[in-house]
Amino acid sequence: MKIIAGNWKMNGTRTALAEMLDAIAGVTTENRVILCVPFTMLRNGTDNVAIGAQDVSANVRGAYTGEVSGAMIAETGAKYVIVGHSERRMYHDETNDIVRAKAMRAIENGLTPIICVGETMEEKRAGKTFDIITDGVRESVPENVTDDIIIAYEPRWAIGAGITPTAQEIADAHKVIADTLGYMGLNGTPILYGASVNANNVADIVAIKNVDGVLVGGASLKPQEFVPIINNAK
């Protein structure tokens, strides 16, 4: 069983989501499929797809115009929420501390956070990849967590770029994350790979050790691209 999570970012419509759910309804798979959609499209999942949000407020409630709380997301029937996606870190200056607070708000409301970590090209060139992802996991994962969480390794330089790291680079990064989680007493936490995943490369990627699934951006928007990803990931 692999976890196949789509991230629609700021794309799609409710009609497109209904069409995607219909297309996936016809798919027989052991994989766990999650679609993370904009707030306005949040809803109950179906028999074979769970719905997730792409962000959650770090605050519980109150005067935070424009923000959406964990309780509000949970009320829609959504079960997951991405926190600390590189686009949130880049455009909204989210730090590991903020990401940890958001993950806590998710957990408090029964949502499973998909916590993203990954290095920029500058950090990669400076040889800091392992430091960034180790600190990302240590500092973004809430302390003493006992509920389900998911980690996503997203090399930021490869997102939307149509390029992926080598299999060895993915294996090395996932081992560092798995070791860090083990050190924190969180053995068995699923670790997804995300950045430029498509129907052609997904089988090779999920075959890499410590890769428990994928987080898919652009290729999750159309059934004709996303359904083959679900089918090919085994």
**Catalytic annotation, residues:** 85, 154
Q: What distances in angstroms separate CA 37 from CA 122, 144, 165, one per listed residue? A: 29, 29, 26
CB under 6 A: which stretch of 71-79, 90-98, 121-129, 213-221 binds ligand PGA? 213-221
Among 4, 217, 226, 230, which residue sits at the site for ligand PGA (rule: CB under 6 A)?
217
**What's the min distance (Å) between Cβ of 215 and ligand PGA?**
5
CB 154 → ligand PGA: shortest distance, Å?
6
Candidates 54, 109, 196, 210; binder of ligand PGA (CB under 6 A) is 196
CB-CB neighbours of 92 under 10 Å: 10
Phi, psi of 39 (to 5 degrees): -50, -40
The reply to whether 159 sits near ligand PGA by the rule CB under 6 A is yes
Is residue 195 a contact residue for ligand PGA (CB under 6 A)?
yes
User: Under the criterion CB under 6 A, does residue 36 sit at the interface with ligand PGA?
Assistant: no
In angstroms, give the least distance from the CB of 214 to ligand PGA.
8
The answer to whether 46 and 26 have CB atoms below 8 angstroms apart is no
- What CA–CA distances, in Å, run from 197 to 1, 106, 161, 170, 171? 17, 26, 10, 12, 15
Q: How far is the CB of 4 from ligand PGA (least distance, A)?
A: 12
**Closer residue to ligand PGA, CB minimum distance, 96 or 196:** 196
Q: Which is nearer to ligand PGA, 181 or 215 (CB)?
A: 215
Q: Which stretch binds ligand PGA (CB under 6 A): 24-32, 37-45, 153-161, 181-189?
A: 153-161
CB 107 within 8 A of CB 97: no
Residue 207's Cβ-side half-sphere holds a number of Cα atoms within 13 Å equal to 7
> How is residue 94 annotated by DSSP?
-
Q: Which of residues 7-26 bind ligand PGA (CB under 6 A)?
A: 7
Hey, which residues does 50 pair with through a beta bridge? 34
Confirm or reject binding of residue 182 to ligand PGA (CB under 6 A).
no
Q: Where are the alpha helices (DSSP H) in the chain?
A: 14-25, 70-75, 86-91, 96-108, 121-125, 129-140, 167-183, 202-206, 223-232
Q: Does residue 215 touch ligand PGA according to CB under 6 A?
A: yes
**Could you list the residues that contact ligand PGA (CB under 6 A)?**
7, 154, 159-160, 194-197, 215-219
